[in-house]
Amino acid sequence: MFWTSYFLAVLAIVLAWPVPILLSRAHWTAQSPFTAMLLWQAIALAGGLSMIGAMLVYGLEPVGDNLLAGLKALAGMVFINAPTTELGFWHIFALSAAALLTAHLVFTLLLTYYKIQRQRRRHRELLDLLASPSADGPGTMVINLDSPVAYCLPGGARSVTVLSDGLMAALEPAELRAVLIHENAHLSQRHHLLLWAFAAWRQALPWLPTTRLAQEAVSSLIEMLADDVALRTESRATLIRAIAIVASGSPGTPAGPMAFSQPELNDIDSGQPGATGGAGSARTTASRVSRLLSPQPPLPKGLRAVVLAVCLLLLALPTALLIVPGLLG
């Protein structure tokens, strides 16, 4: 029990700080974004699990040889008023912290979901009034705006991809197809669920390096995944042109990224240091373009298998440490 809690604590710290920093600097993630995405998910899950597990195991140490016995003893104290004298102050502190952290994570996840849904519903209501359905199909709408803008709004069967007049005017048909395929890839691969989970993770523990780095990495990786889907049917040059035109405004216009009032742009560019959509997404665009300009082969199969094995190990290790002693004993 004692060593288990120490090991889990070390694992939690390693996954909260040095590992995400190293992974966020790695270059191979752009070569195999899908594998990198799995690794980030494994790090987040294993990190949370070992954080809570370490406190739980430490707190239950005096009352049980393993987690299951400890939890049984704890249930006795909570529900049938068994004596609690065996637990010292720090044990109770650790148990309370574990309970609070679990509740905090679940609550933040739900709250974030509710907030996102509300914003999407409001956005969709306005779109229904302001945008008109496009000829490209029921899932596409066109909004009357001169600057080139494209985005998708997830919402189950009511998911929609929004294009601006300015975008349709600035892009050639093939480039427009590339944009549409890219946005539809976000929708069909359910990227919004990943973004939701990592946004909530960051919202819950904003001071932890891993939550910020993980969210930034995941936002960037999903763009690469969607680019890869577009590359299956459209050429590299087409996609690069589409990105360049949308990012720099329409070709030939000296105005900033979007034809919007300057204060608003400054507001966006400066962003708070922690805000996504500021410097973070500028880096995303840069890495996307450089990845398209000088394509690298995906990671060799062997290496990808190693990363996958690491993912499995990360999840299996804390789970096994928590549960197996109880099953054996």
- The residues, any chain, with a CB within 8 Å of residue 241's CB and separated by 6 or more, are 172, 175
Cα–Cα nearest to 280, from 24, 106, 103: 24
Selected from 282, 303, 310, 315, the binder of another protein by CB under 8 A is 282
Would you count residue 266 as binding another protein (CB under 8 A)? no
Residues 135-154 that bind another protein (CB under 8 A): 143-145, 149-154
Taking CB under 8 A as the criterion, the residue among 275, 305, 309, 313 binding another protein is 275
Q: Which window, 53-61, 96-104, 180-188, 300-308, contacts another protein (CB under 8 A)?
A: 180-188
Q: Strand, coil or helix: what is 157?
A: helix
Assess 172 for contact with another protein (CB under 8 A). Answer: no
Element (H, E) at 100: helix 89-130
Span interacting with another protein, options 43-51, 83-91, 282-290, 317-325, rule CB under 8 A:
282-290
Is residue 214 at the binding interface for another protein, with CB under 8 A as the rule?
Answer: no
Produce one character per residue of 202-224: b if its CB has 16 or more CB atoms within 10 Å, e if not.
bebbeebebbbbbbbbbbbbbbb
Q: Cα separation of 150 and 273, whole Å?
A: 25
Residues 86 and 77 sit within 8 Å (Cβ to Cβ) = no
**Least CB distance to another protein at residue 35 (A):** 21
Among 94, 195, 221, 314, which residue interacts with another protein (rule: CB under 8 A)?
195
What Rg value do the Cα atoms of the chain yield, rounded? 24
Total residues at interface with another protein (CB under 8 A): 70
271 binds another protein (CB under 8 A): yes
Q: 252 — phi, psi (to 5°)?
A: 95, -20
By the rule CB under 8 A, 125 interacts with another protein: yes
Looking at beta carbons only, is 292 or 308 nearer to another protein? Answer: 292
Of 48, 71, 326, give the one whose Cα is nearest residue 200: 48
| Spatial distance between the Cα atoms of 53 and 71, rounded to a whole number of angstroms | 12
- Alpha-carbon span 209 to 16, nearest angstrom: 6
* Choices 55-63, 199-207, 296-304, 318-326; region in contact with another protein by CB under 8 A: 199-207
Give the binding site for another protein (CB under 8 A). 112, 115-116, 119-120, 123, 125-130, 143-145, 149-154, 179, 182-183, 186, 191-192, 195-196, 199, 202-203, 219, 222, 237, 240-249, 251, 256-258, 260, 264-265, 267-269, 271-272, 274-282, 284-286, 289
